Each structure stands twice: as C-alpha cells, then as structure tokens.
Structure 1
C-alpha cells in the first residue's frame, strides 16, 4: 500500500468509475504504484489500471488500451495463461479523471519463491525464475502467432521513443548531457529505419503479435500456475523484442521450450532499442523525481554500448 498523492488520486478515479459501472468498490486498495497505479476494487474481484506516468494523451492511451483488451481478451477466451479483462464490465477503456482506465480480473499471487537461504531476493533464485518465465513465453508466442487482428509495428519504439526524446530536448534532465541526447536522437533515426521495414534489414525475422514488454518480467505466479499480464505495449514485431533483458539463460530456456531459434544479431539490436527506450523514459522524471536514480544505472549501460546500428548500414 502506498500513500503517494498519485495513488490517492488513482483510488478516487478508479472507485468513482467502478461504481458508475455497477461495482461496489467498498474497500479499494492499491496493489502497485509506479508507471501505473493498480487499484483492487474490493470486495469485487476487479483491478483497475490507472495510468499515472505517461506522455500519451488520454485518447491515444485509449487506442492502445483497446488493442490490449482485444488481444488479452482473445487469449483469455482461448484459455491462455493471461490475466484476463474483467467479465464484470465491458471490454472497453473507461475515460475518467482526464485519463483512460482498464478493468481486469483480480488474481491471488502466490508467496514469492525463496532461495536456499530463505531470501526471495537472492540473485541466483531470481535469475532462475526469470529464465523459467522466459521459457514459458515460448508458449505465449505460439498462441499470439495466431492472433487474427491487425496491430501496428512496435509503436512503443516508433513513434513513442521519438516523442520522449522530443520532450527531453525541451526539458533536459541532469542525468542526460547534450552529447547523450544527440546520440539518442541519432539512434532513434536508426530505429525509424528498422521499424519502417524490418524484413529489409533482417529477412528471416519472425514478425507476429507480441506481448511488447519483456513477458518474462510480467508474470504473476498463482496457485494454479503463472499468468502473463501487462500487455500495454502489444504490437507486431520480431520475437526478439520480447526477449530483451532475458539474458543468456532466458534465451536458452526459450529455445529449449520450442520458441524457435533466436537471431542473436537482431536480439542485440533489440537490446539496444530497449536501452534507448529507457533513456527516453527520463522524460517522466519531472512527474516522478525518484525515477531518475532508478534509471541512471541503465543509462550508464546504454552509454557503455556502441551506438545502435543496423547490419550493412553505416
């Protein structure tokens, strides 16, 4: 539970919107408070996701949410292991308080795994857990490959990262120098070329519906098994985009689970794109100052890499 003003506002908005839809919302409580605030409208088994840190206008946010609800609803109807849209309200975003909300089934999370020393934060135990969950993403990808709807190609990269970099140029942050920003904008131009025609640069890339935000890190472990959640960035793209941050053990687990061969060169480009996306997230620091120190180590990791480039270009 958190007492941030962001969370308090989210509870008010979620409660009012839920009651308009016929939910009781007698004992709302905050489950999570970072980029989104998740509000459980207890006693009903409904969780409201309230965007709290975003540069996206409510109308555009609703468009993204419709895609997310369509894909997760389709997966849930097929029996896929996902956190499903709530069946107690229509599968549509709800505009409230100047933002756009989505409503999800409440699921009970299992107690965290613990290492041999009883510490659930043991790095080795966490690495093993994320590798296992990345392996489970192979099944998710097989299901997503059959999604019949239309999706844009990696919109969380292009144009979203470009918009973030534009905001940083207008309001620079202490964590990013002018030289850093110049480099970031050069890398974004590379991303525009890639997203505009991925097969031209990677002819063997498997383009399909994706989770869009490292599914191995977006798993809720329940008594009945793991559930994938947070499909906000659902998109069309290469499977390698979903495998960023997985690490060598995660990639091995994915391939062993039947996810197919992973293109290491494309994965490396996608890793660079993920780091650039994090650099762009510094545009949110004015709204959440504590985010800067959280992202600073990733920015350092981005600086240590060679600038993003495409094979055969440059």
Structure 2
C-alpha cells in the first residue's frame, strides 16, 4: 500500500483519508472527509463504491474498440461524485440522465459541492508548492 499526502492508492483507504490537512482541519469539512462514518452521517443514502479517483477527460482514451480508462493509481473507495468533481453542470446532467435510464441514483448536489471543494483545496495546495519545484 502506498499513500501520498493527497491521496491513497489502496482500496483499503477511501478518498477522504487522503484529503489535504488544510481540508481536514476546516470545521465544516472535517467531520465529512475524515472518516467514512462522518461521510455517511452527513450524506445518508450516498453509498461509497470503487471509483477511479482521478477521472478527468484526459484519462479516457478513445480506441477503435471504444473508450478505455487509464491512470488507475488513485483508484479507491468513495462516492461516484468524486469522479465527476469539477467537470461542470453539463457533465452532471449527462450522468444523471444515464443514471436514471439505468435505475441508479442521481448525483447528490451537496456531495458534489463538497467533492468540488476538496478538489479545489488539493489544487490550491499543489499550486502553493509549485515555487519549490526544481526548474530545469
């Protein structure tokens, strides 16, 4: 099992265990992202499942046999909303339409707002570290 400060690459450790310390310490997000129990208490009825963990469109490769996903090092357990974070309302609407046709639950708007905020927190934390990167 390998964990980084920002995410965990083991299905034994869900997405919320890898949230940046700044996200875990905010009073409003800590109970939600610190544990599965906290998440389930905040979002009853929202199940966790295996998710890709890093699902921007660049990780979907079009082939002659159809689309394939790549880049699975962040695969974990979490809400499906995590893989749709920051993709926008058109993507959420397309997912909801497809989910309805398959008898699945629609995206939780509150959950989507939380995972969007966690994703933004991760981005800000990474950008803050950028000046420390070596330049070639």
For the residues of structure 1 that align with 2:120 and 2:13, how far apart are their CA atoms?
A: 21
Distance 1:281 1:200, change over 3 A: same
Greater gyration radius: 1
Contact 1:206–1:238 at 8 Å: present in 2 too?
yes
Deviation at 1:282, TM superposition (A): 2.5
Which one has more relative contact order, counting CA pairs under 8 Å at least 6 apart? 2
Distance 1:284 1:262, change over 3 A: same
For the residues of structure 1 that align with 2:41 and 2:63, how far apart are their CA atoms?
A: 42
For the residues of structure 2 that align with 1:217 and 1:260, how far apart are their CA atoms?
A: 26
Select 1:222's aligned residue among 30, 44, 63.
63
Deviation at 1:215, TM superposition (A): 4.8
Structure 2 unaligned blocks of 5 or more: none
Deviation at 1:214, TM superposition (A): 2.6
Deviations 1:136-187 (A, max 9, x none): xxxxxxxxxxxxxx53121xx534512xx5xxxxxxxxxxxxxxxxxx6753
Name 2:32's counterpart in structure 1.
194
For the residues of structure 2 that align with 1:268 and 1:60, how far apart are their CA atoms?
A: 25
* Aligned length, in residue pairs: 125
Cα RMSD, aligned residues only: 2.9
TM-score of the superposition, structure 1-length normalised? Answer: 0.35
Select 1:263's aligned residue among 91, 108, 112.
108
Distance 1:269 1:228, change over 3 A: same
Name 1:287's counterpart in structure 2.
133
